[in-house]
A = this chain, B = another copy of it.
Amino acid sequence: MADPIRFWFDFSSPYSYVASSWIESLAARHGRGVRWHAILLGATFQAADLKSPVAYPLKREYSMRDFERSARFHGVPYRTPARFPIPTQNAARVFWWLHDRDPAHGPAEAARFARHGLQVYWVHGLDLSEPATLRAVCRDFGLDPDACEAVWNDPAWKGRLKAANDEAIASGVFGAPFFMIDDEPFWGQDRAPQMERWLAEGGF
């Protein structure tokens, strides 16, 4: 089987949420899996000297509209959260804890947790940066909230997320969603048509 598509996302990225709705099926159509990577957009923006599109007033207005329209275009339920953007390091640390704790099933469970977290934030507006809320989100997912809270406060898992951010930056990631098909980088949920053709034709 060909290498999985790498998919870098931030829980607080609306376009990552939209991409999370189609990436698995797109990959499966071409006999590929998906390797999910939770990162902090703030870290990649800083490394690339960039800022969020919503940090610029004129671009923000368009972007907020385009987030919603892009979700509708893909038939994905979407509601702008009351608080946006939010810091997502705690959720991302839980992701990497799930990812690493079992080499056989960890990555798939972490991906399920990612989809769960993206859903509850982008559909139900639950603020993942609030510890009490994130504990409830973890509980709903079937995890022990005390264990999860211990994870996000643990220097070891803080270091694991930092390593993931550093690895993303070293791979050329400067935004999210960001994808790599073999060595070909694709940035943005709007690159789906190019990715589909790249996979079908082995490049173009």
Interface residues of chain A, those whose CB is within 8 Å of chain B, are 47-50, 56-59, 61-62, 65-66, 69-70, 72-73, 172, 174-175, 185, 187-188, 190-191, 193-194, 197, 204
Contact = CB atoms under 8 A, between A and B. Distances in A.
Contacts of A193: 73, 193
8 contacts: A47-B58, A48-B57, A49-B58, A56-B174, A61-B172, A62-B185, A72-B204, A190-B191
Nearest to A44: B58
A185 B58 contact: no
Given A49-B57, A73-B194, A73-B204, 17 more contacts: A48-B57, A48-B58, A49-B58, A50-B56, A50-B59, A58-B174, A61-B172, A62-B172, A62-B185, A62-B187, A69-B204, A70-B194, A72-B204, A73-B193, A73-B197, A190-B191, A193-B193
Number of chain copies forming the complex:
2
Contacts of A194: 69-70, 73
Contact of A58 (B65, B66, B172, B188): B172
A97 B139 CA distance: 66
Chain A binding surface SS class: helix
A58 B50 CA distance: 10
A81 B73 CA distance: 35
A159 to B, nearest CB: 23
Nearest to A73: B194
Contacts of A204: 69, 72-73
Given A73-B194, A188-B190, A190-B190, A56 B49 contact: yes
Contacts of A49: 56-58
A15 to B, nearest CB: 12
Contacts of A65: 185
A8 to B, nearest CB: 13
